[in-house]
Amino acid sequence: MNILLTNDDGINSQGLIKFAKKLSKGNNLLVIAPNGNRSACAHSLSVGKDIIIRKKTIIDGVKAFETSGTPVDCVKISKLMFGNFNTDIVVAGINKGHNLGSDILYSGTLSAACEGAFFNYVSFAFSAFELGESDFESLSCYAEKLIYKLYSISARGDVWNINFPPCKPNEFKGVKITKFGKQLYTDRYEKTGENTYRLVGELVEHNQNDSDCDVEWIKKGFITVTPVLYDKTDKARMNKYSDIVFNF
């Protein structure tokens, strides 16, 4: 397969490099990733500014480029500037840090996958809790297997958000296809200097999730898989009010 690999941690991230080594075996791999960390940049796009694109060597034999743009820029660049690559799937990750529940609204990792769906590619976003370099090698094996399994049941434009639990791979309990939950934090802005502040916060335990969601299954040691739509239309509410007549 022709695989585009990107991330939001930057092209030097071990999560991307280890994953690239795995995916490059038996596939035609193109890597386009930001030149630095772009975490929590969501679906932002570089508009009205120049983007630097440089060739980068991360693995022998793999075509790779770093950009000054966002993860979404990377996917768009692959389509508009590397159209002859004929991408089959877009893969984002493996992200260092989870992308669960309501946190996905901020995720550059998942946003790159959603941009792939915009171009009608089957797309995957992979994330894991903070792990060491050697763990990413094991996770890459699991991730590759999940790609092939999910690709076999996917239609064009499908997006899958996958998270690995905070335990060693040999302790994984299984895989759950489940919905998103809610993540709550003790968010606050702390002063770091004259007129400067930084957002900080810790996860808060709460009872606003039911047991069948990614936030809860991950705590039990399961890999969570959530199908995603980038169409944010509230169809139930739209249909409910579709007969309303507006008179001006």
HSE-up of residue 180 (Cα within 13 Å, Cβ side): 16
Domains of the chain: 2-181+210-240 (3.40.1210.10)
Residue 205's pLDDT is what? 87
Q: Which residues of 110-133 are buried (b: 16+ CB within 10 A; e: fewer)?
A: bbbbbbbbbbebbbbbbbbbebee
Give the three-state DSSP class for 241: coil
Q: How far is CA 113 from CA 13, 108, 177, 213, 236, in A?
A: 18, 9, 18, 20, 25
Give me the residues of the chain with pLDDT under 50, please.
none
Closest CA to 102 of 41, 154, 179: 179
- The one-character DSSP state at 221 is T
- The one-character DSSP state at 171 is G
What's the rounded Cα separation, in Å, for the pair 213 and 92?
22
Q: Look-up: residue for tokens 């799937």? A: 89
Give the three-state DSSP class for 6: strand
CB burial of residue 44 (10 Å; 0-12, 13-18, 19+):
middle
Q: Report the DSSP pairing between strands 174-177 and 89-96.
A: unpaired
Closest CA to 228 of 140, 40, 99: 99
Residue 131's pLDDT is what? 64
Residue 146's pLDDT is what? 97
